[in-house]
A and B are shown apart, each in its own frame.
Chain A
Amino acid sequence: MKIAVLVKQVPGSESALPISGEQTWIDEHMVSFVMNPPDNFALEEALLINETEGDGEVVIVSMGPARVQKVIREGLAKGADRGIHLEEDGRIETDPLSIAKRFSSVLKEENFDLILTGLQSDDMGMGQTGILIGELLGMSTATLAMETDVQNGSIRVKRELESGWFQWVKMPLPASISIQSGLNTPRYPSLKGIMGAKKKEVKVVSSGEHQTASKSQSIDKVFVPQTTKQTEVIEGDADAAVTRIVEILKSEIKIL
């Protein structure tokens, strides 16, 4: 089995998010980046499938500026075999169709049996890149996988539906599947893994080699959400807070 895991580097949940001068994204200089948390689960699932199936490889694929090599190395340290870095210089691409076309042009010749992605990115939250790629490359697709079961030439996936419902779907390989967070416990890299990662191959594909002319959607501006809600902030010691909460329950929400 040849498995690709698409990994994105995104601002960490604790990171500062200063809006950039032209207000179309954030100023990256003050941002601390991490591997997109849902992608950790996709990577773990790929490693588990590879361990069960044997005799295959797991390839970390990431698009972005030079900094994304950090998350590629992180994946290699956890046990992936090699990496592909789709280099981006200048503006970060936010258009899902363009992103998918760029990935597809590079992934096509690799002929992966399986492409795994996290369910969505913590930054843009478009939640479609892996499925777009699957369609562009003529693969089977499924989203929100809670369990995977590779069988001869096909994969059975337990999909999460809404309100506590699930469904098993079986599809022929090759397939591109998005993984629901929480389905496994992502491993930590071992010291040996970290040392070994340095020697593994990371192929850099320069941006000129995966350009696409199409530009279908773009961000006009980003801004801090304005709440229309009047929020009463209750701070201070616990006793004062409790007194105020009881008062609210009694005379404002009137449930006591």
Chain B
Amino acid sequence: MASNPLRDPQDRRLPRIAGPCGLVLFGVTGDLSRKKVMPAIYDLANRGLLPPGFSLTGFARRDWADEDFAQVVHDAVKEHSRTPFREEVWDQLAEGFRFVPGEFDDDVAFEQLRHTIEELDVSRGTGGNHAFYLAIPPAFFGDVVGQLKEHGLADAAGDSWRRVVVEKPFGHDLRSARELNGILDGVFPDGSIFRIDHYLGKETVQNILALRFANTMFEPIWNANYVDHVQITMAEDVGIGGRAGYYDGIGAARDVIQNHLLQLMSLVAMEEPTTFDAQALRIEKQKVLSSVRLPSDLGATTARGQYAAGWAGGEKVPGFLQEEGISATSTTETFAAVTLHVDTRRWAGVPFYLRTGKRLGRRVTEVAVVFKRAPHQLFNPTATEELTQNALVIRVQPDEGMTVRFGSKVPGTAMEIRDVNMDFAYGGSFTEASPEAYERLILDVLLGDPPLFPRHEEVELSWQILDPILDFWAKQDKRGAGPEQYPSGGWGPGSAEAMLARDGRTWRRP
């Protein structure tokens, strides 16, 4: 193909617009579809990044016509989109909505889906390019993917493409992750499977790489010579809400640590990739994940808990065991903390503490790199009483940015040194409105650009790390030593505090 004379690598104003294509959405009534996927599609169109003729097909067990589905999208967009609602943008999308009613095992419905897609190729010029977004529980992946294969929907003709998009959980242990991958892999080639970990679409997460590898001042101290330990926290202030069916039996470690926190950790800990392409990044991430070692005494280096009834943020809230749909004897954890070692020269002896939980003090995700104390302290102990350890904190959400903590002299005649913070807020220096992670990721799916999507090797390595901990906890459950209750609205169970205290450290209050 001759190169496009209107394209110029120097022309950085021109955005990449996806080529002609359509998206088929399974599970249109769920929160994910309504709050994230549909608004992101509108926002992309509003930013001029969707191709003319882009079409969205819904598939669900509803007795809807195309117009009913369009109305659902319209309402979702009005309520949740990031950018202002504009009639002309809606007009661009409006003729491209289709709805196919049916069950996942319904051959007639999938045949109708095939006709719908073929009709779109003619009437909207989608060119045979279609992505199937499975916003449904993984238990149904097998059915849907099998149907797609059976009805020839997974086969791309000529230059066109077919892609499948799946959301976490990618299995619940190594074995099930492999099974799941087997199901997808049997139908779609590896490069056509897009696993969404929406954390990787976040600006602040991508900025970890810029921070580390575009600057000179951080990388020299980014190792065991200077770093004491790393804390990665993802805290939510809400409980499980109405997601009992999903959450029970899954728990915090599988829900968050296996994907988001281990991905964050691999970005923080990895070596510099040779280039900034998908392949090179993946190699480095896999190296980190495969050099992770668990401590031998899992009882002393992990912690878990369940939130108890109480008061959180001024509201009376039920405990996990009282939530609707949760058995009073459930051992599913809503808080999990683990200690990991990365066996490389760079990180030898530096523990990575990962924690996540529901009903904690506030919603926050951050990475804190805590540095060693100065090897020799010039100032006497009284002067440095209020000086703790230097730290560099990457705030992933909310209030995206970075904080550097160091000691400074308190004004006055006495020599007294206290911690101060230097702050960089994304909102302060850049755009007020960064694109949502889903906008970036959906566009990347349509462009076929894979760097921000974890591959099945990474998923499997993550389960290899987590499986022994989950087994250990299951054994504890059998002995009657289940998760500890912790007060709602605080920062987790006492066992998590004790876990760090054993190492002579404390958790940061995020």
Q: Do A and B come from one complex?
A: no
